[in-house]
């Protein structure tokens, strides 16, 4: 321990600093605003195997979570792992811009599954091939049901969302289109959304593709999960947090 301190002191003299790499999320923000006894309603769109659900159950004591996972095999695992929690409702369908049936590409790594295909011969696709030890990174296509947030909220008598989390591999704009009435009626407090900067999926989005639905409805960028650039990492993704300024005071 003493040697580590001396080593850090030497590095500091040259303008360098060693810090432990920490995974950054927005939970400290949610806990600040979710600290009263009123029930909090959260949507986990693109629940996958429950990575975000494990975070959400610790944000507050009184909560109701609606999770959405369209891939049947992943849904079965998700339901098995969270079936004992009566505060979580797990739905076996996707959300989008309209009610329909649509084929989703099921990747060998289920977390990468998407309605969009990968950009051919990109560094990201090559990386995924190496991880899968296969020339194919998509194992199958599965036809799934697709609904909209507006429709779901209406049918389930949901009048307000404290947090909408979206992680759907390039399908994010479709989710926002399907939530346009909910957005316009100022019924969402926070939106946490994955933004894929790099060349990973076809139909790649830009920030403006998301913000054209958010800014007119008084949402403001409130947080960014990490730093990085396309020069050093051509497949970089990060999380963006938007806050409804009608509900959250932004200094």
pLDDT for position 21: 47
Whether 77 and 112 have beta carbons less than 8 Å apart is answered as: no
Q: What are phi and psi of 237, to 5 degrees?
A: -130, 150
Alpha carbons within 13 angstroms on the beta-carbon side of residue 6 total 3
> Which residue spans within 53-210 are E strands per DSSP?
63-68, 88-91, 94-95, 100-107, 138-147, 161-166, 188-196
The CATH fold assigned to 38-244 is Rossmann fold (3.40.50)
Question: Residues of the chain with pLDDT > 90: what percent?
Answer: 81
Which one, of 92, 127, 91, lies nearest residue 112 by Cα? 127
Sorted by sequence, the CB contacts under 8 Å of residue 62 that are 6+ apart come out as 37, 38, 39, 40
| Average of per-residue pLDDT values in the chain | 91
Residue 2 has what pLDDT?
55
- Is residue 173 predicted with pLDDT exceeding 50? yes
- The whole-angstrom distance between residue 111's C-alpha and the CA centroid of its chain comes to 11
> 155 Cβ partners below 8 Å, 6+ apart?
none
Pair of tokens at residue 57: 């159950």
**pLDDT given at position 14:** 52
pLDDT of residue 20 exceeding 50, the answer is no
Model confidence pLDDT, tens digit, residues 21-37: 456 899 999 999 998 88
pLDDT at 24: 83
Does 69 or 17 have the greater pLDDT score?
Answer: 69
pLDDT digits (tens, 9 = 90+) for 210-251: 999 999 999 999 999 988 899 998 889 999 999 999 988 877
pTM of the predicted model, to two decimals? 0.89
The conformation of residue 119, written as its DSSP 8-state character, comes to P
Q: In angstroms, rounded to a whole number, what is the distance separating the alpha carbons of residues 173 and 206?
A: 10
pLDDT in tens, 102-155: 999 999 999 999 999 999 999 999 999 999 999 999 999 999 999 999 999 999
Domain positions in the chain are 38-244
């Amino acid at each position: 321990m003493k040697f580590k301190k001396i080593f850090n002191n030497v590095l500091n003299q040259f303008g360098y600093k060693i810090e432990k790499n920490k995974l950054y999320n927005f939970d400290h923000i949610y806990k600040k605003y979710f600290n009263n006894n009123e029930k909090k309603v959260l949507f986990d769109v693109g629940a996958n195997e429950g990575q975000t659900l494990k975070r959400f159950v610790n944000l507050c004591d009184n909560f109701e979570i609606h999770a959405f996972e369209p891939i049947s095999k992943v849904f079965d695992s998700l339901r098995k792992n969270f079936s004992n929690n009566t505060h979580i409702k797990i739905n076996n369908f996707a959300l989008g811009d309209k009610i329909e049936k649509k084929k989703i590409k099921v990747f060998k790594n289920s977390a990468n599954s998407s309605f969009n295909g990968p950009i051919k011969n990109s560094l990201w696709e090559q990386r995924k091939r190496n991880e899968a030890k296969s020339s194919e990174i998509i194992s199958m296509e599965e036809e799934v049901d697709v609904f909209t947030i507006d429709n779901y909220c209406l049918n389930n008598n949901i009048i307000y969302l404290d947090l909408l989390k979206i992680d759907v591999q390039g399908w994010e704009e479709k989710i926002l289109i399907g939530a346009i009435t909910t957005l316009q009626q100022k019924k969402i407090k926070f939106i946490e959304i994955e933004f894929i900067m790099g060349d990973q999926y076809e139909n790649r989005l830009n920030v403006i593709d998301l913000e054209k639905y958010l800014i007119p409805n008084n949402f403001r960028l409130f947080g960014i999960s990490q730093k990085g650039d396309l020069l050093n990492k051509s497949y970089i993704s990060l999380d963006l947090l938007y806050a409804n300024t009608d509900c959250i005071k932004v200094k």
